[in-house]
Structure 1
Amino acid sequence: MLSKTLVRSMATVSESSLPKKIGGKYVVTLIPGDGIGKEITDSVQKIFKQENVPVEWEVVNVSGLSQDNKGVSEAVASLKRNKVGLKGIFYTGFEATSTSLNVALRKELDIYASLVLIKNIPGVKSRMDGIDFALVRENTEGEYSGLEHQSFPGVVESLKIITREKSERIARFAFDFAKKNNRKTVTAIHKANIMKLADGLFRTTVKEVGAEYEGIAVNDMIVDNASMQAVAKPQQFDVMVTPNMYGAILSNIGAALVGGPGLVPGANFGREYAVFEPGCRHVGLDLKGQNAANPTAMILSSALMLRHLGLNEHADAISKATYDVLAEGSVRTADIGGKNTTSEFTDAILAKLA
């Protein structure tokens, strides 16, 4: 089961503003996103309703397919009011005019730390056991800075931005997480042998910060080797801290190790805001409207959100019911070898909670 102290311990990152509460209920921004987003957030809403979770949803419908920046403005305004959100994933197109709404939201609110939990789940078959690591990813700079231009026809320059300030704060986030969750090792992932200045700065900064944390070992690994090691011997990792793109790649590798993107929960933190979403950011356009998506990642992400809000009893009950359904294996979606629908999987969780 996910650590009970996990997201509550990270609330120290965002204590400058408390979540909005009205009539005894927390008001939480809900952004379903594209693809399967509405179906899997519907599952969360049904579960919260049955459990009488003291959360009131403020729904904001935004789509990366429409490229309507007004929707992002509405989402940002809602999150600024409520401080906490649950979201699906936005589609990002390949066209030059297509911008990532996921990145835009993180940058606008300075939600700088992505946390993804990669852990074997009892009842879900995988090729290796003993996998249990956390991936901490810098969310706001690196390759996703969005600074590209064509300097000459056929010549494109794309700028990767790495700063000491943002490298230091993501490193502190990683080491604080390790300290508060009894993790023993933090590994900095980089390509400093080639990008000696940019990734060299990231690597050096993580090591300097790590020296301040007694009892936590700090090491580093080149990203291509880390990818191989993650597939060959993932049990060696405890906490990984990465620049933006490397984290995106390794979160997908990690999801594949434990059963797929439908199983991995995630969270994003800034100083004032926290947004919870599946850790492996797949839109699922091909599954939209088919009632076939696995809602586990979204449900477990919502449980992390509840811990962040201090609603630990509700979080424990919902996560336990979800894990019990997976462990029994009689009801499961197609991505993990079953034939059940999203609704049937959700109903099985509701039956456990009844």
Structure 2
Amino acid sequence: MLRTQVKSQSKRSLATVSEALLPKKYGGRYTVTLLPGDGIGKEITDSVVEIFKAERIPVDWETVNVTNSEKSKEGVKEAVESLKRNKVGLKGIWKTDVSQSGHGSLNVAFRKELDIYASLTLIKNIPGVKTRMDGIDLVLIRENTEGEYSGLEHESVPGVVESLKIITQVKSERIAKFAFDFAKKNNRQTVTAVHKANIMKLADGLFRKTVKDVGAEQYPGIEVKDIIVDNASMQAVSNPQQFDVLVTPNLYGAILSNIGTALVGGPGLVPGANYGREYAVFEPGSRHVGLEIAGKGVANPTGMILSSVLMLRHLGLDSSADRISNAVYKVIADGKKTTRDIGGPASTKEFTQAVIDELASA
């Protein structure tokens, strides 16, 4: 059953993350930070809020609006403080300005400030969504805090820019252990390190060696492989069924998550999560803002809803997670109220209502 896409891959939030990540519970209810994000963010987080309300999920939202504006740094600070209070968040995607005059990535700053070091993307076919390939079921685990996204750039002389890629053994070990723990807890057989060690022999060589050493020394029951990133990209579009768990430095994970998302139907379908030592933030696995469709009411909220299902499992609300994920899959399989990106006629609100109706009849 496809519903195990979210369930089997994330029992109690992977069972690899410390209980310290759980928020304080007051009167049987949890307070969760809600970060709607830019573009379609509010539309798809509204879907989650409506479904939770209909299901009477014991979650109270503390909403923090952070947008791509001059006050963005203040907004990130407010979001960080909210997460420090609540420990768990549901997040839309923040737009990153590509101009040289703009600020750096709010997403990167947010993750580094809270040390949310592990990004999880679940890439799996959904029955009812027509794709060119079937049988895709891979997990992408991406290091979130260093690599090419270290933010260390400068212009040494006019016309010459140096951008530093940072790879450390400590953080490579940390993400490797997260990947192997995930594989062990979820009956995954293989962990593959993605790298470019044939060229970047020191940086990517360190990442590759560290992952392989951690696997060989601490996880003897799990097969360890490695693959060069350009070959991984080719293999991902020609034979993605061969992959089980992929663990990557920051940039390679960003690229491969988008490739994987395209294979299974698009950015509206893929759930994701981000974990640190103390905090967990759940957001769609494909980090697209959707500016071109914002406000049109056509965005697919599936990825955000399934990300909220991961959040429910993290909170120990497994029965609610089962109900919501089952309802989403049934609506998609039925095909009558799916959104336009996957061939249906429905708006975001109509899809959301169809999920609520399915829950009411279950």
Q: Give TM class, smaller chain.
A: over 0.9
d(CA) in 2 for partners of 1:108, 1:98: 16
- Could you say which residue in structure 1 is the equivalent of 2:338? 332
- Could you say which residue in structure 2 is the equivalent of 1:21? 25
Deviation at 1:4, TM superposition (A): 2.1
d(CA) in 2 for partners of 1:38, 1:17: 25
The alpha-carbon distance between structure 1 residues 202 and 44, as it changes in their structure 2 partners (threshold 3 A), is same
Pick from 326, 330, 342 the counterpart of residue 320 of structure 1: 326
Unaligned runs of 5+ in 2: none
d(CA) in 1 for partners of 2:7, 2:109: 31
- Could you say which residue in structure 2 is the equivalent of 1:58? 62
Pick from 9, 16, 21 the counterpart of residue 12 of structure 1: 16
Deviation at 1:197, TM superposition (A): 0.2
DSSP 3-state at the match of 1:307: helix
Deviation at 1:16, TM superposition (A): 2.8
AA of the residue aligned to 2:111: R
Q: What CA RMSD, in Å, does the superposition of the two structures yield over aligned residues?
A: 1.0
d(CA) in 2 for partners of 1:103, 1:167: 18
Asked if 1:257 is matched to 2:260, the reply is no
- Could you say which residue in structure 1 is the equivalent of 2:183? 178
| Contact kept? 2:22, 2:314, Cα under 8 Å | no
AA of the residue aligned to 2:20: S
Deviation at 1:331, TM superposition (A): 1.2
Pick from 165, 169, 176 the counterpart of residue 170 of structure 2: 165
- Could you say which residue in structure 2 is the equivalent of 1:146? 151
Pick from 204, 207, 213 the counterpart of residue 208 of structure 1: 213
d(CA) in 1 for partners of 2:20, 2:60: 22
DSSP 3-state at the match of 2:287: coil
d(CA) in 2 for partners of 1:93, 1:227: 26
| Contact kept? 1:116, 1:265, Cα under 8 Å | yes
Cα deviation digits, residues 205-235 of structure 1 (max 9, x gap): 0000011212210000000000000000000
Deviation at 1:12, TM superposition (A): 3.5
- Could you say which residue in structure 2 is the equivalent of 1:233? 239
- Could you say which residue in structure 2 is the equivalent of 1:187? 192
d(CA) in 2 for partners of 1:343, 1:262: 14
d(CA) in 2 for partners of 1:309, 1:11: 11
d(CA) in 1 for partners of 2:74, 2:202: 38
Greater shift in the superposed pair: 111-120 or 18-27:
18-27
| Aligned pairs for 1:237-248 within 5 A | 237-248=243-254
Pick from 252, 255, 272 the counterpart of residue 266 of structure 1: 272
Pick from 74, 78, 82 the counterpart of residue 78 of structure 1: 82
Cα deviation digits, residues 80-116 of structure 1 (max 9, x gap): 0000000000000112232111111100000000000
AA of the residue aligned to 2:231: N
Pick from 124, 132, 140 the counterpart of residue 137 of structure 2: 132
DSSP 3-state at the match of 1:137: strand
Identical pairs, percent: 73
AA of the residue aligned to 2:207: F
| Contact kept? 2:6, 2:309, Cα under 8 Å | no
d(CA) in 1 for partners of 2:114, 2:106: 12
| Aligned pairs for 1:278-317 within 5 A | 278-317=284-323
Deviation at 1:10, TM superposition (A): 2.6
DSSP 3-state at the match of 2:7: coil
d(CA) in 2 for partners of 1:43, 1:62: 19
AA of the residue aligned to 1:47: I
| Contact kept? 2:22, 2:315, Cα under 8 Å | no
Asked if 1:68 is matched to 2:76, the reply is no
d(CA) in 1 for partners of 2:18, 2:213: 24
DSSP 3-state at the match of 1:146: strand
Cα deviation digits, residues 290-330 of structure 1 (max 9, x gap): 11100000000000000000000000000000000001111
Cα deviation digits, residues 54-86 of structure 1 (max 9, x gap): 000000000124452110111000000000000
| Aligned pairs for 1:79-98 within 5 A | 79-96=83-100, 97-98=102-103
State the aligned residue count: 354
AA of the residue aligned to 2:220: E
Greater shift in the superposed pair: 64-73 or 51-60:
64-73
Deviation at 1:22, TM superposition (A): 1.9
Greater shift in the superposed pair: 67-76 or 341-350:
67-76
d(CA) in 2 for partners of 1:145, 1:14: 26
| Contact kept? 1:190, 1:221, Cα under 8 Å | yes
d(CA) in 1 for partners of 2:40, 2:8: 29
| Contact kept? 2:18, 2:277, Cα under 8 Å | yes
Asked if 1:352 is matched to 2:358, the reply is yes
